[in-house]
Amino acid sequence: MTELLLSFQKRLEYFRISKLIILLVFVIIFTLEETRELLISSSQDAYIAVTSFVGATLLVFYTLEKKNFNIPEYIKKNSKLEIPICALLGVIPGCGGAIMVMSMYTRGIVSFSSVLATLISTMGDAAFILIASKPQAALIILPITLIIGIVTGYISLPFSDKIAPSIIPKKNSSIILPTNKIPTIFYKIWLYLLIPAVILGLINAFNLSFEIPLFGYDLIGIFAFTAAMSCLIMWVFNPLTDIQMAAVHENSLRKTVDTTCFVSVWVITAFLCFELINLFTQGRMFEYLLFFGPFIPLMAILIGFIPGCGPQIMITSMFVSGQIPMAAQIGNSISNDGDALFPALAISARVAILATLYSAVPAIIVAYLWYYLV
């Protein structure tokens, strides 16, 4: 009996309780007749409209990422360009660049001002959704976050050392990460399915639609829902956190699929939340949002304070689907720090909190200038 309990405990350690809870919620929603269709349609829309392009974009970025050069050495030799370089690293879609800057901060290579510039300019994984779904908006928002990050970094530079001097943490013993036991063949199959998904995404992007009926069912709908649920299952069965995936992956294929699955789950969640709220408000959600109109950018900025890319992906998904105005997306893009806030909190909670609070100032100013003037 004891051996059985120990075996069960060991197996349970492979999973993350938060992921299992989310899976359970999805199962419950699917079993309820009133909400089943909402889950199916949200999953289909999320996979075709967002996941397909996010996966393709990630594959390109992660393949090019292998061809980088020694950035810390370059910054040491060009200290005057430190803040712009760090801001550029931050604006790169995903959290890899921002996490790299946090790593350099802990080694005393960059200042707090550079960290601030990076965290303001980064959108984390939400940038992939914005680029894939609304490239015109991305061409406006990403340069705004980059410029605001650089300007804020230089403004804070004279006070940087007083605010938060560089910190070199104590060296810890190596941490053994859980092993991802998902066979490579599943990753390859998932990636092959991305080819028809991108084609369907392009057709959807041009507002074209067609069905492939079979025995009264739409094959495209079945494919999209099945592929979306595969994202959920692969995310649940992956024991690594998003940061750990970014740290341990050298394989572009696995990194692409793992990150896309993580993003997809949050996109599906955002789409589903929208549909559920619309259901419970009897289709009057937009009337309620108009009532709270001036406060929407502020709410988006406050959500940006939450560590991790998940909540930010939800905000961007809401913007992409037309639920919130562009001012709210701009405010959230400036205030959110993505997954880079996790290592910052682990290294120095004070630095993380200060950077987050300071980013709120330009976020509020720019968001409300856009809200009232544009």
Are residues 98 and 232 in contact, defined by beta-carbon separation less than 8 angstroms? no
Per-residue confidence band for 2, with pLDDT thresholds at 50, 70 and 90: very low
**Identity of the residue numbered 20:** L
State pTM to two decimals. 0.71
Q: Where are the domains of the chain?
A: 36-373
Please state, for a pLDDT cut of 90, what percent of the chain lies above it. Answer: 34
pLDDT(8) > 50: no
pLDDT(70) > 50: yes
What pLDDT is recorded for position 283?
Answer: 67
What pLDDT is recorded for position 215?
Answer: 76
Each residue's pLDDT tens digit, 12-56: 444 578 788 889 999 999 999 989 999 999 999 889 888 888 888
SS3 346: helix
Per-residue confidence band for 67, with pLDDT thresholds at 50, 70 and 90: low
Task: Report the distance separating Cα 340 and Cα 317, nearest Å.
Answer: 20
Please give the mean pLDDT across all residues of the chain.
Answer: 81
Each residue's pLDDT tens digit, 328-358: 999 999 999 876 776 667 666 777 888 888 9
Each residue's pLDDT tens digit, 105-147: 877 888 899 999 999 999 988 898 899 889 999 999 999 999 9
**Buried-state track 9-45, b at ≥16 Cβ within 10 A, e below 16:** eeeeeeebeebeebbeebeebbeeeebeebbbbbbbb
Q: Which is more confidently placed, 271 or 199?
A: 199
Task: Report the distance separating Cα 232 and Cα 227, nearest Å.
Answer: 9
DSSP string across 255-287: HHHHHHHHHHHHHHHHHHHHHHHHHHTTT-HHH
What pLDDT is recorded for position 10?
Answer: 46
pLDDT(318) > 80: yes
Token couple for 69: 């050069």
Per-residue confidence band for 222, with pLDDT thresholds at 50, 70 and 90: very high
pLDDT(252) > 80: no
- For the chain, the straight-line distance linking the first and the last C-alpha, in angstroms and rounded, comes to 67
Token couple for 41: 């349609």
Q: Which is more confidently placed, 304 or 241?
A: 304
Q: Which is more confidently placed, 76 or 225?
A: 225
